[in-house]
Amino acid sequence: MSSPRPIRFFHQGRVQSVEGLPPQTTVLQYLREHARCAGTKEGCAEGDCGACTVLVGELDTDGEAVSLRAVNACIQFLPMLDGQALLTVEDLGASTDLGPVQQALVDCHGSQCGFCTPGFAMTMQAVYERHQACGTRPTRQDLADDLAGNLCRCTGYRPLLDAGERMFEQPVRTLDRAPIVAALRGLRDDPALHYEARSRAGTPQRVFAPRTLEELAALREAMPDARLVAGATDVGLWVNKQQRELGDVILTGRVEDLRRIDVITVHGQGAAPGVMSANGHLSAGPAVAAAAVPAPTSRTTLRIGAAVPLEEAWAALAERVPALRELWLRFASPPVRNAGTLGGNVANGSPIGDGPPALIALGARLVLRLGATLRAMPLEDFYLDYMKNALRPGEFVEAVEVPEPPAGTRLRGYKIAKRYDSDISAVCAVLSLRLEDGVARDVRFAFGGMAATVRRAAKAEAAVSGRAWNEASQAAAALALTEDFTPMTDLRASAGYRQRVAANLIRRFWLETRADAPVAAASASVWQAINLQRSVA
């Protein structure tokens, strides 16, 4: 085992070296209580309000450029910053020399009490940097989607969206990344992080951030009781809200092999890997011959590493299954999706998680690793009971493999929540079937929020499989749901509401996918209907 060393990262123009702080110190606590950078605010301490939004910069694998992503500082632990750059509202400009985002916020009256403003400014800076790099401009809807994780209780969103447009009218001034690249290149030579300090409760606590799959597997096997942490968007809340001590921690975010999305195409005897770029687009990477890039008719499998951020994973999923786009945009918020991972979503196993219904409907399987031994299992078999899964001591999720849906598959994803943006599902349904001469085949109805685990509705599926997909069979399936599920009442919804809405979703699915006169998905979406009404008015 390597020797302990300080946490090292770039902040305020230089490499900071931190030791002695409890390993569960959040980035927000570090900023406000130790670095005396109080521009970043704390609102909810659970990733919901965006007041604490900061940018994290990471060196690309070739060491030439830094990518920036907005995250919630309140649910990131300081050791997760090791080897990276931290940018806060203090980096955007001075009161006598405002940056384009700040100037636009002033010009458009985008701030009143100002509590939310640093968070908005940081999210908008991320948007500004992204579009300036590509030479593109966001639409107003794009801006609204980008700002879905930032709450403002006084200004109202119209001036904020105005500022999002106006910032591109200012003289161009992006963040200077050269010193960050130089510093992060230097930090790359540091050994993998092994940090030790006393926890908040005063007990010794260790954090490891292995860089290879083999190192991770060896550590995990040697320390089966250590807590794996990927993006900390679930675990961060256990610490902030339940005051939990995590014990020893193994971070997965530095393992390059867990951060890849590969496209596996079966050619005769073997499988050829293709490479997905960070934005989810298929590219013929070094390992893939041009001929291996899948033709539209070939069936391929997406292999999503367990530490791939949710934003990239959902982009890749929605690129092949466009019907999942709304679930993607409604999953948490951009800062949560930039930090959280699909592996964490699957492993956490919440009955109201939105990833598992989509993945189960698509027939995904998990690749699990214990030491050098790999095994695979359908995701639907992974969940044993409420928050209990099939992982063995020392085992971890290496990847999620998602087969391309067979030609002719009709799939829809529905999220029922109290709020459109950034809310947890009361019910999430991903429903899929293939029509063969009007007869339903390969039926997979996956529901979250209806039982102790996300699972398929076996009776409802049976009511439809091999039968004509029509009013009678959808009604039979909706009725059979009462045999499949006995949902519970909680603060999100009553049992009766859940049962009724689930049945209605099967009906909606039929209306949208029936062979004769299907209703266009756009006209069945209340949000798109409202926009249509507005544009007509």
Ligand X SMILES: Cc1cc2nc3c(=O)[nH]c(=O)nc-3n(C[C@H](O)[C@H](O)[C@H](O)COP(=O)(O)OP(=O)(O)OC[C@H]3O[C@@H](n4cnc5c(N)ncnc54)[C@H](O)[C@@H]3O)c2cc1C
Q: At what angle do helices 100-107 and 117-134 cross, to 10 degrees?
A: 120
Q: Are 5 and 191 in contact (CB under 8 A)?
A: yes
- CA-based nearest residue to 127, from 60, 71, 69, 64: 69
Per CB under 6 A, the segment of 128-136, 177-185, 348-356, 500-508 that binds ligand X is 348-356
Tell me: does residue 53 bind ligand X (CB under 6 A): no
**By CB under 6 A, residue 116 contacts ligand FES:** yes
What track of x and - describes contact with ligand FES for positions 153 through 172 (by CB under 6 A)? xxx-----------------
Q: Are 30 and 77 in contact (CB under 8 A)?
A: no
Count of residues near ligand X by CB under 6 A? 33
* Helix, coil or strand: residue 532: helix
Residues 6+ apart with CB under 8 A from 399: 258, 303, 304, 305, 306, 343, 366, 367
| Nearest CB to ligand X, comparing residues 126 and 251 | 251
Which residue in 31, 37, 49, 347 binds ligand FES (CB under 6 A)? Answer: 49
Among 23, 47, 353, 413, indicate the residue that binds ligand FES (CB under 6 A): 47
- Cβ atoms 411, 442 nearer than 8 A: no
Q: Using the rule CB under 6 A, is 117 a contact of ligand X?
A: no
Alpha carbons 341 and 343: distance in angstroms, whole number: 5
CB-nearer residue toward ligand X: 332 or 502: 332
Q: Decide if 362 contacts 321 (C-beta within 8 A).
A: yes
Nearer to ligand X (CB atom), residue 72 or residue 499 = 72
CA distance 304 to 257: 10
Q: Which is nearer to ligand FES, 114 or 224 (CB)?
A: 114
Closest of 492, 381, 522 to residue 427, by C-alpha:
492
Shortest distance in whole angstroms from residue 465 CB to ligand FES: 44
Site string for ligand FES, 324-363 (x = CB under 6 A): ----------------------------------------
Q: 7-11 and 85-87 as β-strands: parallel, antiparallel, unpaired?
A: parallel
With CB under 5 to 8 Å by kind, the binding choice for 71 among ligand FES, ligand X, none is: none
Instruction: Measure Cα distances from 418 to 3, 136, 325, 493 in Å.
Output: 49, 33, 19, 9
Binding of residue 114 to ligand FES (CB under 6 A):
yes
Cβ partners under 8 Å of residue 118, min gap 6: 39, 40, 41, 51, 53, 88, 89
Of 309-338, binders to ligand X (CB under 6 A) are: 310, 331-332, 336
Which listed option, ligand FES, ligand X, none, makes contact with residue 405 (CB within 5 to 8 Å by class)? none
Residue numbers 193-252 binding ligand X by CB under 6 A: 227-235, 237, 252
Q: Which is nearer to ligand X, 121 or 327 (CB)?
A: 327
Tokens of 193: 């992080």
126 vs 424 by CB, closer to ligand X = 424
Residue type, 233: T
User: Among residues 35, 52, 477, 480, which is the contact residue for ligand FES, using CB under 6 A?
Assistant: 52
Rule CB under 6 A: choose which of 314, 396, 414, 445 binds ligand X: 396
SS3 332: coil
Assess 111 for contact with ligand FES (CB under 6 A).
Answer: yes
**Looking only at residues 136 through 155 of this chain, which bind ligand FES when binding is defined by CB under 6 A?**
152-155
CA 43 – CA 28 distance, rounded (Å): 11
Residues at the interface with ligand X (CB under 6 A): 46-48, 75, 227-235, 237, 252, 306, 310, 331-332, 336, 340-341, 343-345, 347-348, 353-355, 396-397, 424
